[in-house]
Amino acid sequence: MTLVMTQPYRGRLAPTPTGHLHLGHARTFWVAQQRAQAQGGVLVLRIEDLDRDRCKPQYTLDLLEDLAWFGLRWQEGLDLGGPYAPYRQQDRLDVYQRVWQQLNRLGVIYPSPHSRRDVARALSAPHEGDREVILPPQLRPDRWPQVEQPGAVNWRFRVPDGETITFVDGNLGLRSFTAGQDFGDFIVWRRDGFPSYDLAVVADDQAMAISEVVRGEDLLLATAKQILLYRALGWSIPGFYHCPLVRDQAGRRLAKRDGVNSLRSLRQRGITPETLRQIVNL
Domain ranges of the chain: 1-91+247-282
CA atoms within 13 A on the CB side of 4: 2
Amino acid at site 39: Q
pLDDT for residue 229: 98
In the CATH scheme, what is the homologous superfamily, with its name and number, of domain 1-91+247-282?
A: HUPs (3.40.50.620)
Cβ(186)–Cβ(158) under 8 Å?
Answer: no
pLDDT for the residue 253? 66
* Higher-pLDDT residue of 5, 175: 175
- Burial, 85: exposed, middle or buried (Cβ in 10 Å; 0-12, 13-18, 19+)? middle
pLDDT at residue 123 is higher than 60: no
Closest CA to 216 of 251, 248, 241, 250: 241
* pLDDT greater than 50 at residue 120: yes
Q: Spot the catalytic one: 196, 256, 261, 263.
A: 256
Angle at 233 between CA 231 and CA 234, to 5 degrees: 65
Give the alpha-carbon dihedral of 22, 32, 61, 68, to 10 degrees: 90
According to DSSP, residue 88 is labeled E
- Dump pLDDT digits (tens) for 74-111: 998 766 555 456 789 999 999 999 999 999 999 999 99
pLDDT exceeding 90 applies to what percent of the chain?
67
pLDDT at residue 1 greater than cutoff 60: no
Average pLDDT taken over every residue of the chain? 87
| Distance separating alpha carbons of residues 177 and 160, to the nearest angstrom | 12
63-77, 82-96, 251-265: the lowest-pLDDT one: 251-265
User: Beta strand pairing status for 164-169 and 154-157?
Assistant: unpaired
Nearest of 51, 77, 50, 61 to residue 21 by alpha carbon = 61
Which residue has better confidence, 229 or 85?
A: 229
Residue 124 pLDDT level (bands cut at 50, 70, 90): very low
Q: What is the pTM of this model?
A: 0.89
Instruction: Identify whether 256 is a catalytic site residue.
Output: yes
